[in-house]
Chains A and B, each alone.
Chain A
Amino acid sequence: MNPLLKEFLAESRDALESIGIILMRMEKTPDDAQLVEELFRIVHTLKGSSGLFQFPEMTRVLHAGEDLMSVLRQREISFTQLLADQLLDAMDFVALLCDEVESCGQVAATHSEQSVLLAERLRSWIVKPLTDSATNTDRPTASESVFALDDLGEVHPLDSVPEAIRSLAEGRAKEGVQLHWVRYVPDSECFFHGEDPLHLARQTPGILYGRILAREPWPNLVSLDAFRCVLEYQMLVATDLSLLVEHFRYVTEQVRVTSFDPFFPCRPSNDLGISEIHAWQVNRIPRHEQNAFCAILSAQRRALRVESEPKGCEGRLRAIALVLQHCAKAIGDESAKPKIQQALDAALVLQSGKPLLDLLHEWVGDQDLTSEESESSPESSVSPAPDDSSVSGILEPLLDSPDDTKSPVLSISDTQVESTISGLDSSFPSDHPEGTFSKSTREEGPKFGRRADDHLVSKTLKVDQEKIDRLMNLIGEMVVAKNALPYLAKRAEDHFGVRELSREIKAQHASINRIAEEMQDAIMQVRMMPVSVAFQRFPRLVRDVSRQLGKNVNLILEGEETEADKNIVESLSDPLIHMVRNSLDHGFETPEIRRALGKPPTGTLTIRASQEADHVLIEIQDDGKGIDPSLVKRKAFEKGIIDQAQLERISDREAIHLVFAAGFSTAETVSDLSGRGVGMDVVRNAVEKVHGTLALESVVGKGTLVRITLPLSMAVTKVMIIETDGQIFGIPMDVVWETVRVARDDIHQVQHQQATILRGKVLALKPLNGFLNLDAPPKPNQDDQFAVLVVRSENGSLGLIVDNFRETLDVIQKPLGSVLTGLNSYSGSALMGNGSVLMILNVREMF
């Protein structure tokens, strides 16, 4: 694929995603001006890029979107849900076109109708007469491909217009009337709708010239279908754009309007505009560059005239002088060089563009200079005489007019610019365009300056994740390395008997320790990102899915600013989507049922993120019908997940967790299963992969709450050190619920299982020693109490009897080496400060 197109597709995808996200956020904060600004910018950029290709359907929709964003930005309309809907629809359409372009390299013509519809819908929001913008959409600049680099030989439409009409047009342009080239391509079926395109074309207001072209070669008369319209109409029109739009209002889609170059309305040939600038010997430059030449000169004049702040004045003047020098060079006018330099020097002293402006006027307009130059330069005498004569007639009245400038040509260009602008943008009351300009300049001036300063301070770097991972590994090693210092201190004292040195080492350790901790924290911070990244897709998802299902669901997102490690946040996205989908599908009742049950017809889905100690807690709560444990039990039994005995014994609370069991749900159970269930084991796996846990609460008829607990960071694990049979082990804090002391008398033997009553509930007990195949019995403390570590998993709670609790510790957990990978009892290992290895227990294996 063409690399430019590839780039465009990638860019559009990014842009579309961002648009979706912003729209969602705007539903919450519709008045956020920054969001609107950003939205506008993205749509605007995307439209601009699409204009480089021949995807009129895409550009049309984007252009409508841009116009809509523009009025939204100016607060002419306010943001509504419906507006967001339609914009999202439009963006989906654009995404569809992108897909199509990617797969077949083009957009099928069949999309045209829909794109018109979508664009119209978007435009219907714009309160202003949509006429102007409607035509803008169809400006050929946007819809004609300009990509091909070989269009250098393009023929200007005016070249084909008879000379007499061209001068007529130029005359009209000088009067300040806008010139347009109109292409009207009627629908091929239009005769059947009673249309007469030729009549419409002939009635075009301000028409100066019209021609009729066949869109395709003529067939043999026998096979000609007289009623299939194959003609197109092209017209040169001098009128206000608004009148044109009004005239073609029923066929806007079939009309393309090119408004002529405001600087030089009639570009072709050397008859007008160019011939004025004999002093510049413009004929020396290639013809196709002559327009550019005039435009650039005209631009310098505007730049010199425009009101601007004194800051940077010198730089602007120098740049302008440089451009003038370059222009002079391009036409081989060496004599101009010192004059420009002189004018620049004067301008710099005065801090004003006037000397340069005077010079420009002198050259461009002064007839005396012209003749003088003609004598000194052989080339200009060659310049054809007819030019002068053909032009003079038109120019005379203007030369007599009390214009503030000596250059009729350039002053016309300016008028032309302003009329274009007033024609294009009806938001500007354009009775005096000049006034509009200077006003906007004043308003924007200081604003831009300030913005620039604001932003220069803050910088964002994009860094490869790999680089951060490397930092992370290094700090991990450093944490371990620095832990060797206390041992060194101890050796210095014990072995070598130098207490002084030992103290110094300890002091050094303290400061290195502090720095290492801060560094670790800083690196962690770099990896942190708000969970909102994972939440972004939900508003759209909830809206789309609930509508599809005919349910009303209001989504509430809380705690989006909560931060967690990048990996965690990213791993969260998919399981969350799964659960939200499930909740919508199975959790919520239809509005009718809800009403019948006395519930509010609109359900509420809350996704809440919060940070608790070193964990991120994500809760997904709905007020739907809840999960019926008896149904789940039966299903689980039928699926063979639980046996008869379990079926009878299992508590309701445990039963609902069966939805997370592998093999519980399959597609065919979806329809008849009340409650959640689709692929919830997938969710569980995803959560466990990042050392998270999952819990479910549900009340039939009231709703369901899923609670996901995730570590803040994957790199550092907080573990509790416990001691048993003289050894120490680590247990991840994310499974540790609490530590209790249980008196020997409170431990009961239930069948083969030890248990105790903790706050009125039975807690199964297991000695850790047994789990680790250690023969020693658990050691009680002097009060004959056992240390019990209550751990939890999705399978419930368990009390682990250990010898003693020790401190908690941040460790950097490493996976077990190859020899040990078979040991399910351990989830990994970590290096301790003294260089010893701490084994981390895999608690899930103990249930």
Chain B
Amino acid sequence: MPIEYGDSTAIFREMVGVDEAEDLLQWLHNKAHPRIDLSECTHIHPANLQVLMAAATMIVAWPPDPTWRQWLESALPKTRGDL
């Protein structure tokens, strides 16, 4: 599974494709304080990214690749406290 949904944290793994967006949206919608872990993620299809952006989701972990992280940081609120 590209996205592993936990109680309040979803872990994105490697490539997250377009098909995940629907489930992600549903999950985010149902969680009061959803958190996202991107540390293992190498690429996100923008459909998912849009959902994350719209939900202003808290990112708890960023990917190690600085360039990729910088792309993501430009779109997602980065000050929402790294854990």
A residues near B (Cβ < 8 Å) are 191, 196-199, 201-202, 207, 209-214, 218-219, 221-222, 224, 226-227, 229-231
Contact = CB atoms under 8 A, between A and B. Distances in A.
A79 to B, nearest CB: 46
B61 interface: no
11 contacts: A191-B46, A191-B47, A197-B46, A210-B71, A212-B49, A212-B71, A212-B72, A214-B75, A224-B25, A231-B50, A231-B53
Contact of B50 (A209, A222, A229): A229
B54 A219 contact: yes
A196 B25 contact: no
A231 B54 contact: no
B44 A218 contact: no
Interface string B20-32: 0110110011000
B53 A214 contact: yes
Given A199-B43, A214-B53, A231-B49, A222 B71 contact: no
B80 interface: no
B48 to A, nearest CB: 8
A196 B45 contact: yes
A210 B74 contact: yes
Contact of B28 (A201, A218, A221): A221
B70 A226 contact: no
A196 B18 contact: yes
A212 B75 CA distance: 5
Interface residues of B, number: 27
Interface string B57-68: 000000000011
Contacts of A229: 46-47, 50
Given A212-B46, A212-B53, A229-B46, 11 more contacts: A196-B18, A202-B43, A202-B67, A202-B68, A213-B74, A213-B75, A219-B54, A221-B25, A221-B28, A224-B25, A224-B51
A101 B24 CA distance: 44
A221 B29 contact: yes
Contacts of B71: 198, 201-202, 210-212
B39 to A, nearest CB: 18
B45 A198 contact: yes
Contact of B51 (A196, A213, A226): A226
A230 B51 CA distance: 11
A213 B49 CA distance: 11
A231 B46 contact: yes
Contacts of B29: 221-222
Given A212-B74, A230-B50, A198 B43 contact: yes
Contact of B74 (A191, A199, A211): A211
Given A218-B53, A218-B54, A198 B46 contact: yes
What 5 pairs between A and B have smallest CB-CB spacing?
A211-B74, A212-B75, A226-B21, A218-B54, A198-B46
B54 A198 contact: no
B69 to A, nearest CB: 11
A199 B16 CA distance: 11
Given A210-B70, A214-B53, A221-B54, A226 B75 contact: no
